């Protein structure tokens, strides 16, 4: 090879190298090698703000449709059923779709993009009634992206997580509440179980229990129960033609709840209650499995669903659960005498501790402490000549000015009563409130027992027994045939030293 030949070959090599160096590579048609943009940094695909969207329709590959339209300030599902939609979830999904950004563009799109038979077709209806269509195809074999196209635009890659949201949209966007009503509209409630019928009516702002017995109701507890009933949500909706309905047993329900907005009669009726067409009804049938963690439920509108057992447990209330927590109200200024007898029992032996019922029956008091107070008589001004010379007063004037109450037993003429502590004691009975009513007294031995007797100006006597069980169990009290738990602060007040500190 001569020198000229070498020069020619060198020049040819440089030309070929320059061609490969400066000529751009043609796009690879395969999806795996398509250029992808880092998430959130690509161009916005839909030229529409979420606030402009008034409706959305989602159609999956099988032709199932989910359609939601704005209805005033709320959202309503039209397909697959007519029902209320969850506003915030609907708005969140629309916002996610409107904010979609491109993760890259395959050029040209591969034949397996799936846009001819899309996984999802989404139509966004704007405020001008114009529709924007988003078609979502297959997922790429590499990366968490899917093929998508807006109207007749270019094919882009989008985040595939949207498909998971669209798959359950029909269930997720549907409002799970079984009943629609305002809690203040409800005037009557009836709960029917195989063992009892519980009824309550609202008179003005207060609730009254009418069945099984007429007793005052606790307005806060009953109003809270009504709110819970209206707020009960389905864990799953059941289609009207489902084979599961054969096991629902709505003809032998576990519970039936009836809410009525009709004003109750002035006098409670002894006749069996009837259900009107305007009443809201929840009929809870049988559990859907041996696990008994979900129960079938049917509404008065024919809706069938399932609720969690925890929801059923919250609804199971008895008369004592809804009874007025104010057991008795004794006005402090009306009380003329106070008696507190405190009995302390010895600690239990190890054998007795394992048999509390036997210990409770055979307990013997270890000590008893008695405090009796009387309201000090007011000083009566003399009419005519003073009788002080012939009838000296038994109560020094200086002492009378210092204390409203006085010790009656034991006799402590020189001891003063701390009136503020007596007021604190009387406040516990004006009213005496139950934390929780009990069917019967606990079968447990006690550490202390207090017998409180209050006498009023009208000569009424109130006897309340307060018991402190062993092992720091919840204290309870009995009065007028009722047994109920009380706060430990009541014991602290009964244990207070009522003497006035010098």
Distance CA 218, CA 169 (A): 41
Q: Which has the closest alpha carbon to 467: 345, 383, 382?
A: 345
When pLDDT is averaged across residues 233-238 and rounded to a whole number, the result is 93
Instruction: Give pLDDT, residue 20.
Output: 45
Distance CA 66, CA 120 (A): 11
Q: Which long-range contacts (CB under 8 A, 24 or more apart) does 65-68 make?
A: 66/169, 66/170, 66/173, 68/173
At 340-393, the pLDDT tens digits run 999 999 886 655 555 555 445 456 667 888 999 999 887 655 555 554 444 444
Could you tell me if 75 and 68 are in contact, meaning their C-beta atoms sit under 8 angstroms apart? Answer: yes
Instruction: Give pLDDT, residue 408.
Output: 85
106's tokens: 């395959």
Half-sphere exposure at residue 482, Cβ-oriented, CA atoms within 13 angstroms: 23
Provide the whole-model pTM. Answer: 0.72
Instruction: Give pLDDT, residue 251.
Output: 94
pLDDT greater than 80 at residue 10: no
Q: Which has the closest alpha carbon to 120: 158, 86, 70?
A: 158
Distance CA 464, CA 450 (A): 8
Instruction: Give pLDDT, residue 267.
Output: 57
At 456-499, the pLDDT tens digits run 999 999 999 999 999 889 999 999 999 999 999 999 999 999 98
pLDDT greater than 50 at residue 26: no
At 168-212, the pLDDT tens digits run 998 899 999 998 877 778 999 999 999 999 999 998 889 999 999
pLDDT higher at 83 or 384: 83
At 63-74, the pLDDT tens digits run 999 999 998 889
């Amino acid at each position: 090879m001569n020198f000229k030949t070498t020069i020619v070959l060198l020049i040819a090599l440089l030309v070929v190298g320059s061609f490969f160096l400066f000529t751009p590579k043609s796009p690879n048609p395969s999806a795996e090698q398509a250029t992808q943009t880092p998430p959130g940094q690509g161009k916005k695909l839909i030229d529409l703000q979420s606030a402009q969207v008034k409706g959305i329709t989602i159609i999956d590959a099988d032709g199932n449709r989910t359609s939601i339209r704005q209805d005033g300030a709320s959202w309503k599902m039209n397909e697959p059923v007519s029902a209320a939609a969850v506003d915030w979830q609907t708005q969140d999904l629309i916002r996610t779709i409107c904010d979609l950004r491109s993760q890259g563009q395959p050029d040209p799109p591969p034949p397996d993009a799936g846009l001819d038979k899309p996984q999802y077709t989404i139509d966004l209806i704007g405020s001008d009634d114009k529709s924007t269509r988003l078609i979502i195809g297959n997922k790429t074999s590499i990366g968490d992206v899917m093929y998508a196209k807006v109207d007749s635009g270019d094919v882009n890659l989008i985040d595939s997580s949207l498909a998971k949201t669209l798959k359950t949209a029909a269930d997720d966007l549907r409002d799970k509440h079984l009943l629609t009503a305002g809690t203040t509209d409800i005037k009557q409630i009836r709960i029917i179980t195989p063992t009892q019928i519980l009824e309550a009516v609202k008179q003005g702002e207060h609730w009254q229990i009418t069945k099984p017995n007429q007793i005052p109701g606790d307005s806060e507890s009953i109003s809270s129960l009504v709110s819970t009933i209206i707020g009960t949500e389905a864990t799953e909706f059941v289609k009207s033609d489902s084979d599961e309905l054969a096991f629902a047993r709505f003809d032998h329900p576990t519970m039936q709840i009836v809410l009525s907005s009709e004003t109750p009669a002035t006098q409670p009726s002894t006749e069996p209650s009837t259900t009107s067409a305007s009443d809201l009804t929840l009929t809870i049938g049988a559990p859907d499995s041996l696990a008994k963690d979900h129960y079938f439920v049917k509404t008065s509108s024919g809706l069938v669903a399932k609720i969690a057992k925890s929801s059923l447990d919250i609804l199971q209330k008895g008369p004592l659960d809804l009874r007025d927590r104010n057991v008795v109200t004794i006005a402090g200024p009306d009380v003329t005498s106070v008696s507190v007898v405190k009995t302390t029992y010895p600690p239990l032996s190890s054998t007795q501790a394992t048999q509390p019922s036997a210990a409770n029956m055979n307990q013997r008091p270890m000590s008893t402490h008695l405090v009796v107070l009387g309201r000090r008589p007011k000083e009566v001004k003399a009419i005519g000549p003073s009788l002080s010379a012939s009838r000296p007063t038994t109560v020094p004037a200086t002492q009378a000015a210092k204390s409203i109450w006085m010790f009656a037993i034991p006799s402590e003429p020189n001891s003063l009563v701390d009136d503020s502590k007596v007021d604190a004691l009387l406040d516990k009975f004006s009213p005496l409130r139950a934390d929780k009513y009990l069917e019967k007294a606990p079968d447990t031995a006690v550490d202390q027992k207090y017998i409180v007797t209050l006498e009023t100006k009208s000569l009424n006597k109130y006897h309340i027994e307060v018991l402190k069980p062993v092992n720091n169990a919840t204290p309870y009290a009995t009065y007028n045939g009722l047994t109920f738990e009380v706060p430990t602060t009541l014991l602290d007040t009964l244990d207070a030293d009522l003497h006035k500190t010098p």
